[in-house]
Amino acid sequence: MKTWSLNFCVVLLALLLSACVPNQTPTTQPEQTLLLTDVPVATPIDTPPPAIAPIAPTSSEPSTSEEAGPVVVKLGDLTMEMYELVLKAPNDNGSFTTTAGLSSKILENRRPLRDIQVQAFSPAPLDGRQLKYTRIESDGQTTVTFMLDDEEVLTVDCGSVSPISDVRGMWVVGEDWYGEVAHVENEAEGNVVTSNALGELFMNGVSLNDQLDYDETFGFQPLDDKPFYFFSKDGEIGINYAGKTYKLGFDSVNHYACCSAGAYNPKAYLTMVTFFAQKDNREYYVELGHFSTSDTTAIDLSGAGLTVEAYWLEDDSWPDNDHIQSRPIGSLPGWVQNRHKAERVVSAQSQQTTLFQEKALTASTNIDTITDVRVEVRLDDEVILSVPAGDLSHSAGMDAVIGVWVHGENWYVETVHVVSATAENTIQNTPFGEIFRNGESLSQMFGYDETFGFQVLDGEPFYFFKKGGEFGLNHAGEEVMLGFDEIAHYYCCGFSVYNPMHYENMVTFFASREGKRYYVEAGVFE
C-alpha cells in the first residue's frame, strides 16, 4: 500500500469537471433556487474637481411616481453622490427621507461596503512602538497626551469637560501617525448648557489647522489606506485626500454630535465615508468614496443559513497561463479582501486520519496497479469502505483522498475519481468528487452528479454539489442552487490557487456563469 501526496496534476488543467451519474435517484431535499441580481449602480458623471457646488433637485416631499436620483460629481479618484433630504427621523435613529426615496432603499446600494467601519482607536504599531493616549481632567478642563510607547509626543489642551468626546481617534498610516481632538467650550444660559466643539487634527504632532491655515479639521480616516479628512476654511467645507484638496461647496458637515444625535455623524468605511451636509438652508445625505463597477456588482446568493456574495472579476481571471502564480483577487477592490479578514485567520484543514468512537479513522490511496486505484477507509485495522478511484496512468502525482472528518455521530470522507480519455495525441484526465457519509454516497443518496469541497462550517457539515449542469451548496442539510455552471476545484500546481479555500466560518471560491467569472465568499458572519 502506498499513499501519495495530496496534489492533482492534470494534463489539461482548465477543464469543466464531468459528471458521474448515480444508478439511483432518491427523493432530494427541498431546494431553494436563487437568481443572480445585480445591485443598483449609480453612474458617475465626470465633473471638473475643485470648487464644486452641489445642486440637487428641489422638492418639498419625495416623488411617488418618478424619484430623482442623486447628484454625482467626480473629485479626482473619488466619486461623490448627494441626495437632498426631505426629512430626518425625529428620534435620531439615523433614518431619513430624500428626493430619491427612503434611506432603507438608498442604504441597500453598496451594502457590502458598509460591513466594516474603520476603527478610530486601534492603530498599528509605528516602527515597533504603540501609539496611545492619556486623558486628565482638572477643574472642569481636559488635557490629552499622545505617546509612542512611554514617550510623550504631543500634549493638547482640549477645553471643557462635556458629553462630547474630546479624543476622536488615533491612527497610523504608512510612516505617519495622526491624532484628532475636539476642543470644547461650554456656554451656560440659565439652566441650559451648550457645548461647542472645534476639531483639530495632528500629523506627527504638528497641527494641520496651523500648518495649512484651516479653521477646523475633523473626520479623519484611512480611506483605501490613504489619509482622508474634512476641513473648514473661510466658511466652506472641503476634503483632503492623499494630500490633495477639494472644496465640496457645503456650508457645514454634521460632526461631533453626541448621544442619539451621533447617528448623523460621518461614518467611516474601508473605501467610503458617508455624512450629512448643509448648503443654502438645504440638507443633504452624501456618500463619498471609490466606486467602481466591481465595488457595486455584488450578487446576493444567500441561503442555507449562509451569507453568499459573488463579485464579478473585471479581468475575467480564470485558470490559464496568465493567472497562475497568485490567488487572482487583485482585480477586486481592497474592501472585498479586507471585509472578512478575521475569518481567514483559522483555516479548516482536511485530514487523512482522525478519531471516531475512540478508534483511528484513516483514508488512504491503495495503488495495487496504476490503472486500478482504490480508496480505502479503515477504522483501526478494519476496512469499512473501498471505493474505485480510476486510472492514474497519466496523472503525474495525486492522492484520491481529499480528507476525512467526524461530525457528531457521523464520519465523512471525500474521494476523487479520475476518468481518462484520448483525443488524437492528447490525453484528457477529468477528476470528479464523491463524498461518503458513514460509507453511503451523498451523490447517490440525493441524486447529485458530483459532491466535493467538504468541511465543517460554523459547526455544521458543508459541501458543494453539481446537479443538472448547475452547482449548489448544502449546509446543515439544506440545499441552495447557486446558478453557476462551473466552480473551480481539484486544480493542481499553480492553478490550485483557484480551488476553494476553507475556514472555520467561511469558504471562498471561484465560479462562472454564462462565461462571466466570479469570486465568491460564503459563510456565517457577525
Please write the tens of the pLDDT for every residue from 12-59.
233 333 333 333 333 333 333 333 333 223 333 333 333 333 333 333
d(CA 415, CA 233): 67
How would you list the strands of the sheet with 470-475, edge to edge? 450-457, 460-467, 470-475, 478-484
191 lies in some domain:
no
As beta bridge partners, residue 306 has 303
As beta bridge partners, residue 158 has none
Which amino acid would we find at residue 336? V
How far from chain centre, in Å, is Cα 371?
44
In this structure, the number of other CB atoms found within 10 A of the CB of residue 114 comes to 18
d(CA 189, CA 164): 18
- 3-state SS string over 40-54? CCCCCCCCCCCCCCC
Residue 449: in which H helix or E strand, if any?
none
Is 413 in contact with 363 (CB distance < 8 Å)?
Answer: yes
325 lies in some domain:
yes
**Residues contacting residue 430 through CB under 8 Å, at least 6 positions apart:** 10, 15, 17, 18, 418, 419, 420, 421
Domain that holds residue 307: 298-523
Which amino acid would we find at residue 299? I
Task: Report CA-CA distances (Å) from 98 to 22, 84, 216, 276.
Answer: 56, 5, 28, 12
d(CA 437, CA 356): 13
**Residues contacting residue 351 through CB under 8 Å, at least 6 positions apart:** 403, 404, 405
Q: What's the predicted TM-score (pTM) here? A: 0.58
Is 127 in contact with 173 (CB distance < 8 Å)?
Answer: no
Which backbone phi and psi does 3 adopt, to 5 degrees? -105, 125
DSSP letter for 272, please.
E
431 lies in some domain:
yes
3-state secondary structure (DSSP) of residue 294? helix
d(CA 434, CA 450): 6
d(CA 524, CA 348): 14
Is 348 in contact with 457 (CB distance < 8 Å)?
Answer: yes
249 lies in some domain:
no
460 lies in some domain:
yes
Count of H-run helices and E-run strands, the chain? 5, 37
81 lies in some domain:
no
d(CA 37, CA 301): 9
**Residues contacting residue 468 through CB under 8 Å, at least 6 positions apart:** 449
Domain count of the chain?
1
Is 277 in contact with 238 (CB distance < 8 Å)?
Answer: no
70 lies in some domain:
no
Residuewise pLDDT in 10s, the chain (526 residues): 333 333 333 332 333 333 333 333 333 333 333 333 332 233 333 333 333 333 333 333 333 334 567 899 999 989 999 999 998 887 677 889 999 889 988 887 777 778 778 889 989 899 999 999 999 999 999 999 999 999 999 999 999 999 999 999 999 999 999 999 999 999 888 888 888 999 999 999 999 999 999 999 999 999 988 999 999 999 999 999 999 999 999 999 999 998 888 889 999 998 899 999 999 999 999 999 987 644 445 677 888 999 898 887 766 566 655 554 445 555 566 667 777 888 888 999 888 899 999 999 999 988 776 667 889 999 999 999 999 887 766 554 567 899 999 999 999 999 998 877 777 777 677 889 999 999 999 999 999 999 999 999 999 999 999 999 999 999 999 999 999 999 999 987 777 878 999 999 999 999 998 888 888 999 998 7
343 lies in some domain:
yes
Give the torsion sign (CA, 459, 464, 468, 470).
positive
